[in-house]
Amino acid sequence: MASTAGKVIKTVGKVIKCKAAVAWEAGKPLVIEEVEVAPPQAMEVRIKILYTALCHTDVFFWEAKGQNPVFPRIFGHEAGGIVESVGEGVTELAPGDHVLPVFTGECKECIHCKSKESNMCDLLRINTDRGVMISDGQSRFSINGKPIFHFVGTSTFSEYTVIHVGCIVKISPEAPLDKVCILSCGVSTGLGATLNVAKPPKGSSVAIFGLGAVGLAAAEGARLAGASRIIGVDLNPNRFELARKFGCTEFVNPKDHTKPVQEVLAEMTNGGVDRSLECTGNINAMIQAFECVHDGWGVAVLVGVPSKDAEFKTHPMNFLNERTLKGTFFGNYKPRTDLPSVVEKYMTGELELEKFITHSVSFSEINTAFDLMHKGEGIRCIIRMDG
Ligand code: NAD
Ligand code: ZN
C-alpha cells in the first residue's frame, strides 16, 4: 500500500467516488455529479486535482460548433495536482508527487520525442476526438456503469482523474500549484510560441492577434526576447488596458478600421511586422496574421485551434515573397523535458504568473468561469477543487 507524508492511502487499487463537472450536451452548463474513477492501469497515473483553469480549447469543444461532438464528457486540461496512485510500469512518479498534466504527451521513445525539433509525440500527441484511454480504448470515468468520456487525455474538471504517465510533468513541490497550474497549457503555449517558434530578434516588431492568456503569454515572450514594438490586435477593446502589463506597446482593433488589418499593420511598421502570433482560433485572424508580416523575413506562427472545416486561403505570392508560416502545439515545448524549466522561470521571478490570474471560483461555481470567458472578462479563472 502506498503512503504519502506518513499517511497510508486507502484508495490505491480501488475505485474512487468523487465529484466531477460533467458536460452532458454541447453548450449546456456543466453538472457536478458523483463519478466513479477506476484505478490507473499500466503506464497510467491517478491524480488528485487541486486547481484547474479554463482554457478556450475546453470552450470550443464544449460548444462543439466547428468540432466533433463527444458527449458526455469531462473537460479540463490546464491544472495542477498530486499523484494518488500509479499503475504498473510507472517508475518515475510516486504518490505524493506534485504534477502538471499536459494535453500533449512525451513518450520519450518515438522519432518525434527523439528529434530536437519536434514535440509531436507519435503515441501521445493531442487528439481532441478520442474520449478513452489509449491502452484499452476504455474510459476510466463512469456513472452507474455508463462511461463518461475523457478530453485530451487529461479531464481535469474532476477531483480525481486518470492520465497516461507520458502526459504528466513532475514539478518541484515548492511551486505553488494554484499559480503554476496555468503553465500546464495557456501560458507555456504562448510563451513557447514566441520564444521557441517565432524567435523575434532583439529590437524587432511583433504583432499578437488575440489577447487572452495565450496571446498575452506570447506578448510576454516577445518582451523577454527584447522586441521593441509589441502590437496587440483584438476585437475586444477591454483587453488593451490589461495587455499593457504584458508588454504590449500599441493596440489595433480591426473594427476601428475600414481597410484590412494587415494593411493597417503594414502602414504602422513600414511594410509589415517582423513576427506575428495568432492566438484566437479564428480563421480570418490566421490569414491576417500571416499577411501582415514583412516580406523578405517575416514569420507568422499559428497557435489558435481552428474549427474542423476551416481553410487557410492566401495568395502563393505571399510565400514567394519570403514570408514564413508556422504553427505549434504547446509552444514547441516537450512537456516532460522542458516544462520544469518554465516552472523554474516563475520560481526565480523571471516570469510572473499572478497577473494572468484575474478570477478564482470554487468547483461548484465552475460555470461562472465559462460565463467570464464568453464575456471576454479577465484572463484566467482558477477553479479551486476543494471548495
Ligand atoms: P481567450 O478566449 O482567452 O482569448 C482569445 C482572444 O482572441 C479574445 O480576447 C478575443 O476577443 C480575441 N479574438 C477572437 N477573434 C479575433 C479576431 N478575429 N481578431 C482579433 N482578436 C480576436 O482564449 P485563450 O484561452 O487565450 O486561447 C486562445 C486560442 O489558443 C484558442 O484558439 C485556443 O484553443 C488556442 N490554444 C492553442 C494551444 C496550442 O497548443 N496550439 C494551446 C492552448 C490554447
Ligand atoms: Zn489549453
Lookup: cell for 322: 519570403
Distance CA 298, CA 317 (A): 14
Residue 277 near residue 193 (C-beta atoms within 8 A): yes
**Is the whole-model pTM more than 0.85?**
yes
Distance CA 65, CA 67 (A): 6
Instruction: With H, G, I as helix, E, B as strand and everything else as coil, classify residue 44.
Output: strand
Which distant-in-sequence residues (6+ apart) come within 8 Å of 97 by Cβ? 82, 83, 170, 173
201 Cα: distance to centroid of ligand 1 (angstroms): 24
Tens-binned pLDDT, residue by residue, of the chain (387 aa)? 455 554 556 899 999 999 999 999 999 999 999 999 999 999 999 999 999 999 999 999 999 998 999 999 999 999 999 999 999 999 999 999 999 999 999 999 999 999 999 999 999 999 999 999 999 999 999 999 999 999 999 999 999 999 999 999 999 999 999 999 999 999 999 999 999 999 999 999 999 999 999 999 999 999 999 999 999 999 999 999 999 999 999 999 999 999 999 999 999 999 999 999 999 999 999 999 999 999 999 999 999 999 999 999 999 999 999 999 999 999 999 999 999 999 999 999 999 999 999 999 999 999 999 999 999 999 999 999 996
Distance CA 13, CA 3 (A): 13
Packing angle of the helix pair 56-63, 366-375 (nearest 10 deg):
90
Q: Cell 508560416 maps to which residue?
A: 325
Instruction: Please tell me which residue in 125, 140, 164, 294 is annotated as part of the active site.
Output: 125
Residue 313 near residue 341 (C-beta atoms within 8 A): no
304 Cα: distance to centroid of ligand 1 (angstroms): 6
Enter the DSSP assignment of 201: P
- Ligand 1 atom closest to the CA of 59, numbered from 1: 34
Instruction: With H, G, I as helix, E, B as strand and everything else as coil, classify residue 217.
Output: helix
